[in-house]
A and B are shown apart, each in its own frame.
Chain A
Amino acid sequence: QVQLQESGPGLVKPSQTLSLTCTVSGGSISSGSYYWSWIRQPAGKGLEWIGRIYTSGSTNYNPSLKSRVTISVDTSKNQFSLKLSSVTAADTAVYYCARDLLTTGFDYWGQGTLVTVSS
């Protein structure tokens, strides 16, 4: 059973960079034709896709966030990571990592981690 777990600081100051890591267990991040995505959800609001990475390092980002987002993968650690720069209060949200089947949805999700942007 694949499991995903987000980790990283729960509080980030405005204008700084948000950094999160997703650790995948129960299977190799490199096995199968899977992508790995980050998705966020502000409190009481809907879901927003941030971007995805393939284990080759190929990435796709939401155009609305593209200028501030970097997603990377470390196959040796079975992890992938998110960096979001120049954060503001609008970036406060629960951030989820998920296994991305590309054309058939996101089938495994982490439990989510709350990141608050505040001074």
Chain B
Amino acid sequence: QSVLTQPPSVSGAPGQRVTISCTGSSSNIGAGYDVHWYQQLPGTAPKLLIYGNSNRPSGVPDRFSGSKSGTSASLAITGLQAEDEADYYCQSYDSSLSEVFGGGTKLTVL
């Protein structure tokens, strides 16, 4: 049972927009801690996709965007491409003194 809750799966057709939610609580996201997002392609290590709620590291396409409100955060992907098919994880800090991750969301490009 993950501290941060994500939908197990989402899907979309090429070119469409999809969003992935990440729901926390008053001890993590709601406490003001930032949310970061990772993309994990099959058989590879996670890659930092969004940091500090809405910032993209160098090299990450602007098709990826993040937002945060209250006890939740969201990752949006526009202009969906086949290579976006991957698992996506949100991450934040919890006042239990631990970094915490969501359970992950599998994105399928139809």
Contacts and interface: CB of A to CB of B under 8 A. Distances in A.
A84 B39 CA distance: 27
A37 B104 CA distance: 20
Contacts of B51: 101, 104-105, 107
Contact of A63 (B34, B47, B98): B98
A106 B97 CA distance: 17
Interface stretch (A9-17, A24-32, A45-53): A45-53
A67 interface: no
B86 interface: no
Contact of A49 (B34, B57, B99): B99
A46 B103 CA distance: 5
B45 A110 contact: yes
A113 B29 CA distance: 30
Interface string B88-105: 010101001111111110
A52 B45 CA distance: 18
Contacts of A86: none
Interface residues of A, number: 21
A64 B96 CA distance: 10
Given A46-B89, A104-B34, A104-B52, 17 more contacts: A37-B99, A46-B102, A47-B101, A49-B98, A60-B97, A62-B98, A63-B96, A63-B98, A96-B46, A101-B51, A103-B34, A103-B52, A103-B93, A104-B36, A104-B55, A105-B36, A107-B51
A49 B45 contact: no
A111 interface: yes
Give the residue among A52, A109, A111 with the most B Cβ atoms within 10 A: A109
A106 to B, nearest CB: 6
